[in-house]
């Protein structure tokens, strides 16, 4: 796509976000639910299958386009942005990238249209970042696998129709015995145990899911047997770009509001933005957003071109998430006492931003990934 095509897409998504998403953001946060008709509109506009090829019912765009969509929707509502991100990069992507032709034809069209929502089941109560320690087990029963175990912090878990699930198929104490499966969430034994009561992104469900002898057909093994860890890590590399784009959208929303507020609020006989201390805050916000966007675009471009992008996705996620947290904090400072009240949206931006430093690997994990990539040349 040409630069003008990306700008045209941004304009289109921005208008949708401003007219269809932003007016609902406060109620989504308060009611802790994204309306089903909004999810339907996301599907109708191609936002849930952006980089899925047209032959599988998608919009046939690229990963740069996907990052633009997540950014603009997250600017309007972070909960809606992460629904798109988790659905697209964590469920759709591994099926598209590792699934066989039959799996793609069966699952991708409904996922791309939004008829089905997807989730990614890796984390467990005692196995978060340490994925090799997961205990969910898939026992080979001949014609099918039988999965038992518990998954934690599953985004879209409550609404999901399709889950990409990781389970041990060998009783190892490391990642080598992990396989990936496509699981239909209406299967007997699949149960949403609870949804977390969270600080932010409250409209997005974060669920604990139990698997009680869930039968999964052999044809739903995703990728190669006991190569699931590779699928999970590859998927998370792309997922970090989506979270970085979400953080960027949140930061942009906070910056725009702070800038507007500094123009409307008059103190000492002049608007706040006439005070140099406020100008410095706005300048730093703008610069961090610009840097975040460039990092996200570089990671996305490399992914689209088939280049190595693990380092770049970790850099984008680390920088954009920490920038969003800083920007939303400063936006509250600009708004003063008003910014600390729920009458103003900056406190919601602040609450929503924090999670971007945690999921898809904490900021500390991103630093480990970045350092490991940078130190390869020394070996």
Residues designated catalytic: 360
Burial grade of 375 (CB within 10 A; 0-12, 13-18, 19 or more):
exposed
Taking CA atoms, 19 is separated from 14, 122, 177, 351, in Å, by 9, 35, 48, 23
Helical spans, DSSP H, in 45-164: 63-76, 78-85, 93-98, 101-113
Hey, what are 14's tokens?
């921005």
Give buried/exposed letters for 25-46 (b at 16+ CB in 10 A, else e): beebbeebbbeeebbeebbebb
Q: What is the 3-state secondary structure (H, E, C) of 232-296?
A: HHHHHHHHHHHHHHHHHHHHHHHHHHHHHHHHHCEECCEEHHHCHHHHHHHHHHHHHHHHHHHHH
């Amino acid at each position: 796509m040409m630069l003008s095509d990306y700008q045209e897409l941004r304009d289109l998504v921005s208008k949708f976000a401003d007219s269809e998403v932003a007016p609902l953001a406060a109620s989504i946060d308060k009611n802790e639910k994204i309306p089903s008709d909004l999810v339907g509109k996301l599907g109708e506009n191609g936002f849930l299958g952006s980089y899925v090829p047209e032959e599988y019912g998608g919009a046939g765009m690229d990963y740069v386009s996907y990052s633009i969509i997540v950014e603009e929707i997250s600017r309007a509502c972070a909960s809606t942005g992460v629904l798109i991100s988790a659905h697209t990069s964590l469920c759709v992507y591994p099926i598209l990238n590792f699934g066989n032709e039959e799996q793609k034809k069966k699952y991708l069209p409904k996922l791309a249209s939004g008829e089905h929502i997807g989730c990614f089941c890796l984390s467990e109560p005692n196995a978060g970042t340490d994925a090799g320690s997961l205990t969910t087990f898939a026992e080979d029963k001949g014609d099918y696998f039988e999965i038992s175990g518990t998954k934690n912090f599953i985004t879209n878990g409550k609404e999901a129709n399709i889950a990409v699930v990781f389970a041990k198929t060998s009783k190892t104490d490391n990642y080598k015995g992990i396989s990936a499966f496509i699981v239909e969430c209406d299967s007997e034994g699949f149960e949403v145990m609870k949804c977390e009561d969270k600080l932010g992104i409250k409209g997005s469900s974060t669920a604990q899911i139990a698997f009680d002898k869930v039968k999964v057909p052999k044809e739903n093994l995703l990728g190669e047997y006991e190569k699931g860890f590779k699928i999970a890590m590859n998927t998370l590399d792309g997922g970090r770009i989506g979270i970085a784009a979400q953080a960027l959208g949140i930061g942009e929303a906070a910056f725009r509001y702070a800038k507007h507020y500094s123009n409307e609020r008059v103190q000492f006989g002049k608007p706040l933005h006439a005070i140099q201390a406020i100008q410095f805050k706005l300048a730093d916000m703008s610069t961090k957003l610009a840097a975040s966007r460039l990092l996200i675009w570089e990671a996305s471009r490399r992914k689209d071109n088939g280049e190595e992008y693990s380092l770049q996705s970790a850099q984008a996620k680390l920088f954009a998430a920490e920038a969003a947290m800083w920007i939303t904090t400063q936006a509250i400072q600009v708004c003063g006492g008003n910014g600390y009240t729920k009458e103003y949206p900056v406190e919601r931006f602040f609450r929503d931003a924090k999670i971007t430093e945690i999921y898809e690997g904490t900021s500390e994990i991103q630093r480990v990934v970045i350092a490991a990539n940078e130190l390869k040349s020394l070996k």
